[in-house]
Amino acid sequence: MTYILKKKKINQVLKGWFKNYDVYAPQKVEDYSQFFRLTSADDLVLNEPHNTRFPPKALFLPQSESLLKYDRKINQLKEAIPTPKPRIIFGIRPCDAYAVTLLDTVFNTEEYSDPYWKTRRDATIIIGLGCSEPCQTCFCTTTGQGPFNPEGLDALMTELEDSYSIETFTEKGEKLFSDLLLASESQQRKAQEIQKKAVESMTPAFDTTNLKHNLDQIFDSDYWATISESCLGCGVCTFLCPTCFCFDIVDEVQRNERVRNWDTCMFRIYSQEASGHNPRPTRKERTRQRIMHKYSYWIDHIGEIGCTGCGRCVRFCPVGLDIRAMLRAANTFESETINA
Amino acid sequence: MSEIKGKLKSEIERLLREDIVDVVIAFRKEDSPLRPQPAFFRNTDELTNLEYNSLCQNNLANYLTRFPHDTRIGIVVRGCENRSVNALIVEKQHQRENLFLIGIPCHGIVDIKKIIKKTGEEVTEYSENQDEITVLVKGQKVTFPRKELLHDSCLRCVHPNPVDADVLLGDPLPEGDPSIARQAVKKIEAMDRDERYAWFQHETERCIRCYACREACPMCYCTECFVDHAAPRWVESDVSQGGMQAWHIIRAFHQTGRCTSCGACERACPMDIKLTYLTEKLNDDIREVYQFEAGMDRETQPPFASFNLDDKKRFVI
């Protein structure tokens, strides 16, 4: 169903949810926005032109989380599996919601189910906010979704002038909004026009038709040295990425705690072995891993590209590296070598 | 400004054509006009992509330590970059005779975050002169005074001119006012202890430990950083308060007498964390106590890296 939520009624709706749910929504920090639990409806920030800077994957896979606590004296340990209150994530962009479904294929499969991920996931309703004006750095239509992609969402909002039209896709989503007025036919038409216009405003950033094949072909080529030469080897692209999920588990012995931290293939120590050998010794191999994982290995595993086109890695790379330019170069690099 | 770019292009062409250097480290254009990239030119035909403007925000000296000492490198240096190169030479990270420094007196680096804050990120064109920056946003031209957009560390810059470049493109600029440079640190010094700690906590708690600050810094070239040391581990590696505060304090302390105030760390930070107030305080102390500024020449060891037998205070030896 499609409902209408007046902008001036948002606070009232949020306050209604506070009784039964923890509501997570974008809030302002310095000059950017980040998802936090809302304690006051006034802190909500929905007018940011793009997604939050810090990726909402952290609401399911926190950057650092305690896995278990132990007491060495009495030889006991206690798992720290979260018991979250029912949660609503409100105002997530479709690229980030779709990313959560990609991460489900890692943390919540029939074979392996991560209880830390699963308890949070099961307790969460996800309400998206579509992007009426996609940014220059966005490329979600290229990766196969789009600024109003419903995958991973229980409901999706489209901004109209003084209201949001809200399309519900699941029972959970329906339950949250069923008290609202239904959208009229003309309101629904208006929302569809906005959605169509947004999709049409985005031009393909690179050709994905043979991209995986092309990347696989140039695995051993000079391409990687060229594109990674200015790379600093920091963790900005991977930590801000909504689909990067690598982690490291460490014992914080002084706190008697086993902790899972985000890790990144862009760091030298990520692949450093105890012997001292490093199978990915330079930025070249590490950049290759990052790109190949997203655009080749994900396809091997689940048949989908592991990038949602959110644009964070493009916006925040300290040396201005642009994955879109890298992939265009990968497509042409192959043809150059074949011609040579 | 575009005049400088033309001169720079001819100079790089000359260095490569006459085989004076093997590679030139400069900047090149990318898709977005706001994000020029560090680039490595080895052939003159690659120079069509050359870029030089105030958006070139990285400290290129950072890349010197990636090359063997016998690589002949040409490198574009502004004031701070030249001092970083010198500081690296003092620490024997490259040989001066294998470097050719192409100096450019610097009008300051424009902070892309300040542009985006004012105009949004849909910038399709960028142009500049000494006093003004003009951007085209959604078809609209908007002009700002340069000072409004300069990065904070450039507003504090005292030495905009390269100190010992092999060639200087453009006329030298007047030196900056050291008392203005000190204002940012003075503001924090004036806080009481609790306020200062609250400031420090607010800045460190947003850290995501991506280490972009470290990787962007020319002086952070250790093969193994203290935070990466695994056996024994010296600092908590999670985003706990202890781990993050330790990182910020120790990172700054390792720069004592070595930091050239370029601000590359702060510009690299994805979480808008203020980093330079810590290093600026240390720089002030080093200036006051030892009358030393990093990188002003290529011989003097930083105070904390040197000792002599006549030292008045004998506690070290």
Do B74 and B189 lie in a common domain? yes
| A320 Rama sector, left if φ>0, alpha if ψ -120 to 50, beta otherwise | left
The answer as to whether A205 is a domain residue is: no
- Is it the case that residue B214 has pLDDT exceeding 60? yes
Which of A31, A315, A318 shows the shortest C-beta gap to B117? Answer: A31
Percent pLDDT > 70 in chain A is 98
Instruction: Quote the mean pLDDT of chain A.
Output: 95
Size of interface A-B (CB pairs under 8 A): 108
Contact between A234 and B215 using a beta-carbon 8 Å cutoff: yes
DSSP A197-237: HHHHTPPPSS--SSHHHHHHHTTTSTHHHHHTTT----SHH
| Residue B31 at interface with chain A, using a CB cutoff of 8 Å | yes
Considering only CB atoms, which chain B residues are within 8 Å of A64? 238-240
Which of A29, A252, A318 shows the shortest C-beta gap to B236? Answer: A252
Do B51 and B39 lie in a common domain? yes
What pLDDT sits at residue B167? Answer: 98
What pLDDT sits at residue A334? Answer: 62
State the total domains in chain A: 2
Condensed to tens digits (0 to 9), the pLDDT of residues A138-151 reads 999 999 999 999 99
Condensed to tens digits (0 to 9), the pLDDT of residues B79-97 reads 999 999 999 999 999 999 9
What pLDDT sits at residue A49? Answer: 82
Contact between B212 and A234 using a beta-carbon 8 Å cutoff: yes
Mutate to test the interface with A, among B229, B238, B265, B272 (most CBs of A within 10 A): B238
Reported confidence tier of residue A339, pLDDT bands at 50, 70, 90: very low
What pLDDT sits at residue B301? Answer: 93
Q: Please state whether the peptide bond connecting residue B232 to the residue before it is cis, i.e. omega within 30 degrees of 0.
A: yes
- Is it the case that residue B126 has pLDDT exceeding 90? yes
| B272 Rama sector, left if φ>0, alpha if ψ -120 to 50, beta otherwise | left
The answer as to whether B316 is a domain residue is: no
Query: B187 to chain A nearest CA, in Å?
Result: 19
Do B154 and B275 lie in a common domain? yes
What pLDDT sits at residue B314? Answer: 64
Do B266 and B216 lie in a common domain? yes
Contact between A181 and A29 (Cβ < 8 Å): no
Which of B209, B228, B268 shows the shortest C-beta gap to A318? Answer: B268
The mean per-residue pLDDT over the stretch B111-138 comes to 94
Q: What share of chain B is helix, strand, coil (3-state, %, to 5)?
A: 40, 15, 45
Condensed to tens digits (0 to 9), the pLDDT of residues A196-237 reads 999 999 999 999 999 999 999 999 999 999 999 999 999 999
- Sign for the CA dihedral angle at A280, A286, A292, A293 comes to positive
**B230 vs B104: CA distance, rounded Å:** 42
Do A303 and A241 lie in a common domain? yes
Element (DSSP H or E) covering residue B135:
strand B132-137
Do B298 and B242 lie in a common domain? yes
- Is it the case that residue B184 has pLDDT exceeding 70? yes
What pLDDT sits at residue A153? Answer: 98
Q: Provide the residue range defining the domain that includes A104.
A: 2-200
Considering only CB atoms, which chain A residues are within 8 Å of B36? 320
Contact between A322 and B271 using a beta-carbon 8 Å cutoff: no
**A245 vs A295: CA distance, rounded Å:** 15
The answer as to whether B315 is a domain residue is: no
* Boundary residue ending a domain (B120, B149, B178): B149
What pLDDT sits at residue B230? Answer: 81
Condensed to tens digits (0 to 9), the pLDDT of residues B255-272 reads 999 999 999 999 999 999
| Residue B214 at interface with chain A, using a CB cutoff of 8 Å | yes
Q: Which residue of A has its CA nearest to B28?
A: A320
**ipTM for the whole predicted complex goes beyond 0.85:** yes
Query: B109 to chain A nearest CA, in Å?
Result: 14
Contact between A269 and B228 (Cβ < 8 Å): yes
- What is the β-pairing status of strands A22-29 and A87-92? parallel
The mean per-residue pLDDT over the stretch B149-154 comes to 96
Apex B19 CA angle, B14 and B20, nearest 5:
75
Which of B30, B215, B233 shows the shortest C-beta gap to A325? Answer: B30
